[in-house]
């Protein structure tokens, strides 16, 4: 399970260091793709294959299903770590997520999310804890 928050930088060539705690869980090959909310997602190969199987069950006759599948699959790329524990983030994915220099990597259960520092700050405004608690309750999550 991926968890935690790590601040890193992406270099001019698009290389990004993956935190050592995450590297241990990723395996030799993994998938980098577009994520929701303007971030990128990194999936271990077994998680990606399970996700891919779900995508295969979507009916091609459904326009939303086709759009959903394209969103995740078209920009996806298989990655490996280099000797310094880095991955190369393709230019198209860097542009999608607005990654320029300062980056935040977060663990989110079965995946890693890669955020520009600015987008992470915008998306993680937890000023209204009451609405967050209500949203959790609405989804059946009670702690």
pLDDT tens readout for residues 87-134 = 999 999 999 999 999 999 999 999 999 999 999 998 887 666 677 777
Residue 104 resides in a domain? yes
Residue 143 resides in a domain? no
The domain tally of the chain equals: 1
97: containing domain: 2-138
pLDDT tens readout for residues 8-67 = 999 999 999 999 999 999 999 999 999 999 999 999 999 999 999 999 999 999 999 999
Residue 22 resides in a domain? yes
Q: What is the CATH number of the domain that holds 126?
A: 3.40.1550.20
Residue 116 resides in a domain? yes
Q: Is 45 exposed, middle or buried (0-12, 13-18, 19+ CB in 10 A)?
A: middle
Residue 109 resides in a domain? yes
Alpha-carbon span 39 to 133, nearest angstrom: 24
Are 14 and 111 within 8 A, CB to CB?
A: no
């Amino acid at each position: 399970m991926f968890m935690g928050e790590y601040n890193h930088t992406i270099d001019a060539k698009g290389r990004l260091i993956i935190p050592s705690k995450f590297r241990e869980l990723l395996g030799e090959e993994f998938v980098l793709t577009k994520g929701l909310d303007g971030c990128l997602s990194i999936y271990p190969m077994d998680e990606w294959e399970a996700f891919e199987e779900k995508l295969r069950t979507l009916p091609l006759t459904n326009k939303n299903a086709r759009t959903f599948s394209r969103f995740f699959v078209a920009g996806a790329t298989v990655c490996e770590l280099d000797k310094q524990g880095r991955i190369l983030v393709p230019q198209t994915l860097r542009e999608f997520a607005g990654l320029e220099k300062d980056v935040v990597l977060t663990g989110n259960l079965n995946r890693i999310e890669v955020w520009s520092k600015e987008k992470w700050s915008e998306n993680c405004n937890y000023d209204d804890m009451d609405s967050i608690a209500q949203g959790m309750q609405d989804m059946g999550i009670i702690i």
